[in-house]
Structure 1
Amino acid sequence: MGFSRLLPPSLTTAAAMPPRQLPLPVVRLVVSTDGEQYRVVDISGAPDGTWIRRHILLKLSIPERLHGKFSIYPSEVGAYALGGAMSDGRLFTHCRDSGDPSGSLKFFVSTAPDQPLASDTSFTSQGFPISLTEK
């Protein structure tokens, strides 16, 4: 009987993961599509950058079919992108290394680094704006 069989399943799974892929502890992000209105996204326990990206976009009510049109950029309150679009790997690493429970990390989410979504864009249960779905 191996050592891993003596551990609870949650510890066995965590022990089997490489150290850089352990799920994140309590981490909250602050995200915006316009540099003015912000949402808090709890990514605690995130296993990878793809998971983080999906949760950010879903928190902003962006339909899954449109996720590929959006990029996530490092940012600060009141600003748009302050760097290039983040790959899933870079997003996970940045959140792992610099994220915290108080939401110190800020991100700008848009289809372009220097443009907020149109002011008439509304992410509601009524659907996504036609202007973005027709492109």
Structure 2
Amino acid sequence: MASLFSRFDSYDFESDRRFQDGLKSLNISDSKDENKLLDMKLFFYNRFVEPIDPTSYKQWSSTLPHVTPVDCSADQRTLSDPDSDVNKTQTAETSTETETTQLSFAEVMKLVQEGKEVPGAKKLDIKPTNQSPTPSQMDRVLKPWEISTSK
């Protein structure tokens, strides 16, 4: 069990594209509640990497002394260079978080009726293929009364 938990601890969530995309789609940043982020990491790891029991992991991790790794290079770049990529990313994330407000159903309906775009909604690029539908390849499932009369 300890080796499984060690693999979880060493898993690089920051470079896992699916995990990061999931965080973005849920509008969650790393600076929010650490327990919630841990729960998300455990859920993701259990679903996409290998099975792990969150309760056992939390018990195991509470018995260990924790040393939080610090990425000094990113902090130093942010503090020393205001034009750094790290600082721009943080500024962009905070500005989009402040712009996003939760609309009521009535407000969304009004925007849709007026033909305006709903903020925060993804605009999908869906185009018709203009092809005729393909015929079904499966036989129709018989109804219960058709089964009893066909025997």
Instruction: Pick the TM interval, shorter chain.
Output: under 0.3
Q: Which has the higher strand share?
A: 1
For the pair shown, which has the larger CA radius of gyration, 1 or 2? Answer: 2
Q: Which has the higher helix share?
A: 2
Query: Normalization by structure 2: what TM-score?
Result: 0.20
